[in-house]
Amino acid sequence: MFDIKAPKTKEALAQFNHEFSIFIRLEDCENIADLFNTIRLLQNLARGNKILEALLRMIQSISAFLNKNKAFDRKLTLTTLTAIKEDFDSIIYSASMSDDASIKAYRHSLSLFHDLKHRIALAPYQPLLEELKSAILSLEWEINPDTTHAFSLKVNRLKMKWQSNKLYDSFLNILHALGQYTHKKKASADEEAVVLIRTVYDHLETIVTKPGLTFEQKKSLLLDDIQRYRTFKAKIQPKKTRPAAEKPIAEADIPELKPALSQFSSQTDSASMEVDELVSLSDEQLVAQEIEDKNLKSAPIQPPSKPKTDVMDDLFNPKASPVDDLLDKIHLMNVLGKDKAAAPGMMESQEAGFEEQGMKSYAPGKKDQQPIEEITNRIDDFFDIGSSAAPAKKKTPPAPDRNKIPKGPIGPLVHAVNRASRELNLPNVNEISIKLSQLKTALKKDPNIRIADKPGEFNSLIDAIDSLVNTMIQGMK
């Protein structure tokens, strides 16, 4: 039984009050050992009174902390210590205090003690939380690579510190995911992302800094944030996938647009022209193309052999490449302006130079005519990756059609006849004669060429000559 009227107790309490007041007033706490001795004495005297014993242990613990840790918030520690001492005094000096009042005072002290203990435990993480808060404020101000990077960095630091705390880690996981999203989307990120980041952070800060919260309250905050995150994720999800692509677009769903060149089409009679067919590309063709390309031997890249010249040669040699000419023109356009760069005099002088070098220019036109056999064969051979020295390609005989020039030995002759049909003049008729003699020579050289084997070509020739005769008759009329 703790009897404050007993001389020994009275003396011990007086000693305690004196040393405690000195300890509170003096920053250097030199008499801490004396204070601890007195507290131990009082603890012996109060043995059996659990409230007083607990309060004395709290005072001793906080005093020891205060003595050792100068860096921590001293004002808060002293306030807490003083408040606990007041509760201790109120219990022992108030004779009329009921047991309930004593317990209430004890609970008040215990709450203050736990709060201080929690703050002391949180102290190493407090700057990191502050930094995270600051990073969120920057993110709210502007989303850019710097702010998103800083945010992710702060979240990751806290994740490393709190990886063993599942509750804190769960909040940080949500923040991490939102940080990744804003970093990826940058300025185009949904505005709600930053709002959600702020909300989750506030809840994290609450559960970290307020030790009074029960586990259920903390869990409730976390579950709310998980639900908010899921809702947000569902909201941004449709932007990632393409909803319209699930089913092919019906032509009827595509709005009418004015076709290209509608405003210019009246300048020509193109509407009367025959429409070329569209060459489609099936999935099977695409796969076959890929397989063919993979099977091709990947030839090592060999740079074209250049004659060895020294640097001065390169500098003073005139430019010959068309790329250089084109770059010069673009450069001139950028420097002088588009009008001066396209000065007519430049091109005229250039063309005059062309003629001296034996150059002639031909303007190609869109003529409704088939290429001659040599063009078709040459192009086919060049692009046939299997052929090495451009051998003549075996071709199936074309259908007898007077508009199509057959391939093979008769082709040039048919072409010449067709040309004469379109424009009957002496050079064209002479050409028929030349082609006919060439065909005869070819037949002599290669006895394997037999007209009978190529009825389609022969029929084409007959049709072409028939056409020429008709033209000549029309001309005579």
Partner 1 sequence: MALVNVKTKEVQVKIVYYGPGRGGKTTNLEYINKKYRERLKTQMVSLKTHDDRTLFFDFLPFDVGKIKGFQIVIQLYTVPGQVKYNETRKVVLGGVDGIVFVADVQLNQRKRNIESLNQLYENLKTHQLDLFKMPLVMQYNKIDLKNQNIPIIPSRIMQKDLNSHLKAPAFEASALKGGNVIPTLKRIVSMTLASIQDELF
284-323 binders of partner 1 (CB under 8 A): 285-286, 289-290, 293, 296, 299, 301-304, 322-323
Q: Quick one: 48 or 364, whose CB is closer to partner 1?
A: 364
Q: Which of 367, 394, 444, 477 binds partner 1 (CB under 8 A)?
A: 367
Q: Quick one: 307 or 364, whose CB is closer to partner 1?
A: 364
Identity (one letter) of the amino acid at 309? T
Q: Which of 98, 214, 317, 361 binds partner 1 (CB under 8 A)?
A: 361
- Residue 177's closest CA among 146, 205, 207, 156? 156
Residue with tokens 């007195």: 38
Q: Binding pattern to partner 1, positions 146-175, x when CB under 8 A? A: ------------------------------
Identity (one letter) of the amino acid at 299? A
Q: Binding pattern to partner 1, positions 34-73, x when CB under 8 A? A: ----------------------------------------
Decide if residue 371 touches partner 1 (CB under 8 A).
Answer: yes
Q: Quick one: 316 or 362, whose CB is closer to partner 1?
A: 362
Decide if residue 363 touches partner 1 (CB under 8 A).
Answer: yes
With a CB cutoff of 8 Å and minimum separation 6, the contacts of 458 are: 410, 451, 452
Q: Quick one: 179 or 408, whose CB is closer to partner 1?
A: 408
For residues 150 and 225, give the distance between their C-alpha atoms in angstroms, rounded to a whole number. 22
Q: Quick one: 90 or 376, whose CB is closer to partner 1?
A: 376
- Residue 35's closest CA among 59, 58, 52, 53? 59
Instruction: Report, in Å, the least distance between residue 312 CB and partner 1.
Output: 23
Q: What angle do CA 40, 80, 210 make, to 5 degrees?
A: 125
Decide if residue 212 touches partner 1 (CB under 8 A).
Answer: no
* H helix or E strand, kind and range, residue 443: helix 426-445
Q: Quick one: 131 or 380, whose CB is closer to partner 1?
A: 380
Instruction: Report, in Å, the least distance between residue 412 CB and partner 1.
Output: 9
With a CB cutoff of 8 Å and minimum separation 6, the contacts of 347 are: none
Decide if residue 348 touches partner 1 (CB under 8 A).
Answer: no
Q: Which of 216, 237, 362, 474 binds partner 1 (CB under 8 A)?
A: 362
Q: Binding pattern to partner 1, positions 226-265, x when CB under 8 A? A: ----------------x-xxx-xx-x--x--xxxxxxxxx
Q: Which of 33, 137, 160, 390 binds partner 1 (CB under 8 A)?
A: 390
For residues 350 and 353, give the distance between their C-alpha atoms in angstroms, rounded to a whole number. 5
Burial per residue of 299-311, b for 16 or more beta-carbon CB atoms within 10 angstroms, e otherwise: eeeeeeeeeeeee
Q: Which of 223, 385, 434, 462 binds partner 1 (CB under 8 A)?
A: 385
SS3 173: helix
Site for partner 1 in 7-26 (CB under 8 A): none
Q: How far is CA 234 from the centre of its chain?
A: 20
- Residue 56's closest CA among 74, 36, 73? 36
Decide if residue 382 touches partner 1 (CB under 8 A).
Answer: yes
- Residue 407's closest CA among 456, 369, 335, 358? 456
Site for partner 1 in 411-440 (CB under 8 A): 419
* H helix or E strand, kind and range, residue 79: helix 74-93
Burial per residue of 423-450, b for 16 or more beta-carbon CB atoms within 10 angstroms, e otherwise: eeeeebeebbeebeeebeeeeeeeeeee
Q: Quick one: 214 or 388, whose CB is closer to partner 1?
A: 388
Instruction: Report, in Å, the least distance between residue 181 CB and partner 1.
Output: 23
The tokens of 221 are what?
A: 């905050």
Instruction: Report, in Å, the least distance between residue 415 CB and partner 1.
Output: 9
Decide if residue 345 touches partner 1 (CB under 8 A).
Answer: no
- For 218-263, give the DSSP string: HHHHHHHHHHHHHHHHHHHHHHHS-GGGGSPPPGGGSPP-PPTTTT
Instruction: Report, in Å, the least distance between residue 344 CB and partner 1.
Output: 11
Instruction: Report, in Å, the least distance between residue 369 CB and partner 1.
Output: 6
Instruction: Report, in Å, the least distance between residue 248 CB and partner 1.
Output: 7
Binding region for partner 1 (CB under 8 A) out of 67-75, 158-166, 182-190, 327-335: 327-335
Site for partner 1 in 436-465 (CB under 8 A): none
Q: Which of 267, 425, 448, 474 binds partner 1 (CB under 8 A)?
A: 267
Tell me, by CB under 8 A, how many residues bind partner 1.
79
Question: What's the number of CA atoms in the CB half-sphere (13 Å) around residue 218?
Answer: 19
Decide if residue 471 touches partner 1 (CB under 8 A).
Answer: no
SS3 430: helix
